[in-house]
Amino acid sequence: MVVNPRAARDFAKAFLLRSKTDTLDASVLLEFVRRMPFVSWQPPREAALALRAFARRIAALVKIRSQEKNRLHATEHCRELPAAIRRDIEVNLRHLDRRIQQLEEQAVDVVWADPGLRHDLVLLTSIRGVARSSALQILAEIRVLPDDVSPRQWVAHAGLDPRTFESGDSVAKPPRISRVGNRYLRAALYMPALVASQHEPHVKAFYDQLLARGKKPKQALVAAMRKLLHSIHGMLSNGSDFDGERFRALPQGLRES
């Protein structure tokens, strides 16, 4: 069994322990498995674990590349910075581009060597707005999960589930996403949902409908991310391409045009 660290930590807080030692930690974990339901852990396939390792390394390099691009932009407005610094940043950016491309190609090789992952990648890229890079990131995070995980559990795993905070009649904060979950999956869904909400007719209709109801653009985008994750679950479970009509039926006027 693999215990969620947050659950174990909160469970330990209930004992009001003032010290932390290996012996105390062991006793708390023992009490945890005695009282809580036991869920046997099944290790993911080696190909899925390899893909996740590649995807997370790529995500780390993409983050570094973004930081370097910001530094390069800053050099344009800083006269005191030597030209050699700008050239060094440009060289590093080209180096990062090559490394990211090489890692993506190796990740694709891992996917193509596994029939299940290869089929999943083809299905994901059938969604307008999900390019190969995004599909690799999404696939890397969901294919290490057990096969019996429900769509709602996927959403909670990504930290996209709404969190309600109410207390009595005086405290009623607006619902927000929990952000308690897999930040890699949440980040991987952002750009596909953003592109799809502009260029995929059915996703755009869903997005525009939420805006018309008074939702803020960011709220509508998060809702699109959540619904897109539900669609991906159905696609991979049924082995079918993306069906926009199931996502959101188009209004009659748009359907005719």
In a domain, 140, yes or no: no
pTM (global) more than 0.85 = yes
What's the confidence (pLDDT) of residue 254? 57
What's the confidence (pLDDT) of residue 113? 97
Question: Chain centroid to CA 44: how far?
Answer: 18
Q: What is the rounded distance in angstroms from the CA atom of residue 92 to the CA atom of residue 255?
A: 48
Cα-Cα end-to-end distance for the chain: 54
What's the confidence (pLDDT) of residue 255? 58
In a domain, 133, yes or no: no
Are residue 155 and residue 196 in the same domain, yes or no?
yes
CA distances from 248 to 25, 89, 101, 185, 233 (A): 49, 45, 35, 23, 16
Q: Which of 72, 57, 149, 151 is nearest to 104 (CA)?
A: 57
Q: What is the rounded distance in angstroms from the CA atom of residue 53 to the CA atom of residue 102?
A: 14
Q: What is the rounded distance in angstroms from the CA atom of residue 124 to the CA atom of residue 231?
A: 10
CA distances from 76 to 69, 91, 145 (A): 11, 16, 45
What's the confidence (pLDDT) of residue 179? 83
In a domain, 219, yes or no: yes
Say if CB 180 and CB 221 are below 8 A apart: no
Are residue 163 and residue 195 in the same domain, yes or no?
yes
Report residue 56 as tokens: 């997370």
* Cβ neighbourhood burial of 83 (10 Å; 0-12, 13-18, 19+): exposed
In a domain, 143, yes or no: no
Say if CB 130 and CB 196 are below 8 A apart: yes
Are residue 169 and residue 100 in the same domain, yes or no?
no
In a domain, 120, yes or no: yes
What's the confidence (pLDDT) of residue 20? 87
What's the confidence (pLDDT) of residue 256? 45
pLDDT digits (tens, 9 = 90+) for 215-236: 999 999 999 999 999 999 999 9
What's the confidence (pLDDT) of residue 150? 94
Are residue 19 and residue 93 in the same domain, yes or no?
no
pLDDT digits (tens, 9 = 90+) for 21-38: 999 999 999 999 999 999
Are residue 159 and residue 230 in the same domain, yes or no?
yes
What's the confidence (pLDDT) of residue 144? 95
The residue range of the domain holding 21 is: 5-35
Residues of the chain with pLDDT under 70: 165-173, 252-257
What's the confidence (pLDDT) of residue 170? 60
What's the confidence (pLDDT) of residue 257? 47
Q: Which of 151, 136, 224, 221 is nearest to 185 (CA)?
A: 136
Question: Chain centroid to CA 248: how far?
Answer: 22
Report residue 37 as tokens: 């339901």
In a domain, 139, yes or no: no
Q: What is the rounded distance in angstroms from the CA atom of residue 226 to the CA atom of residue 57?
A: 25
pLDDT digits (tens, 9 = 90+) for 143-167: 999 988 999 999 999 999 887 766 6
